[in-house]
Structure 1
Amino acid sequence: MAVKREYRMEELARLAGITVRTLRFYRERKLIPPPRREGRIAWYDDHHLARLRTIAALLERGHTLNGIAELAEAFDHGRDVADLLGVGAPTEEEPVRLTPEELADRFAGQATPENLAAALELGYLGTDGDEIVHISRRLLDVSSALVREGIPLAEVLRAGKEVRSHADALADLFADLVLRHASEEDLPRLRPLARSVVEAELSLALDRRMRKQQ
């Protein structure tokens, strides 16, 4: 079991490459969580160090301190990834772990507090300590690809919310169909069939939509 390291203010500032004055400023702005108090001594840990390094990385990428404060608040109030995925729940989707700066790089300055809040509300993102977890590598890759094509992330997230409601309706339809003729134990085995139907129907729908444009 790893021993939890703790640091006094001067040591933490040195490890983070900032001054004690800057550290105090960040603490006053609530960019970092409060330290553990032992009498008059404030003790910081690796969580504080990771947050300070994230702040430095985001500042280098052009984020303002106000924006970073809002991001930090969103991270601190985000749902734990275990709540999103369910402990031990089976899934075909591969979660992806990201640091806040990696997330910022993925979306080229569009990882704003508003967009982050929308992604957290949708359940695309969860938190795990100092890391962010996206619930699906496929969704992450597609959404970042759409942003690279010039579609604003806010629009991608709004579309994702609509797709979610349609996908829930399709899942309910398939589950009801199976349960009328089989049992709940058959759902995992028949799941690929449902996905194939949806993919084929979406492909045909896109064909019809593109023909209208011709």
Structure 2
Amino acid sequence: PEKRGRIGIYDDVHLARLRLIDVLLQRGFTTSHISDFITGWENGKDLAEVLGLQNAVTEQWSNDEVVEIPLDMVDEFLGDSDQLTRLQALGLARVDGDTCIFTDPELLSGFSSLSEYGFTIGQLIDVHERIHAAVDGIAKDMIGTAKNHIVDLHGEGWLPGDDEVGATTDMLVKMRELAVHSVTAILARTLDENLQHELGDYLTTALQNRNDRETHP
């Protein structure tokens, strides 16, 4: 890290490297093996392209913003401890002593707003669980497609050579951008389509009820 006095400052490059190391540590590799592996692969390559690839495969697109709320207030808001357990299982909350840390403040705000219209927190978590499962499947499909493409071209365990780093980075970035765009666009379009369908059914029932009341007062 860059030194400012006695403080080490980590920029995006260092964070990308740390995330890559963390991925390998979680797979059981030692720091010595990781250092030898990364140094050996980087040797002789364009540093900017290498760092770009590392960032492409480790960059977090999710928001790291969190909000901390006293646990007693959370219990009052959620209604029962089961809902907090469900949020923890989804990675949306974690408990630290007397404090609950929510990892998606915007989602929490949405839950709070909709609860004012009579939705229960349990109902809203039900919806989120279904959305999470569906989108997780899409993410696995997109990542699997990119991985299989690389394996089909180069075989398992391939690492890009000097003249392949830039193209590999571009492909991975574009695949991630396509995945996010696809999910956003499809969700917006299908929300419109389903809203029109449900609205038509609802208004048809409303008109039939009105006609029935007029026919049989």
TM-score of the two chains, using structure 2 as the length reference: 0.48
Larger radius of gyration: 2
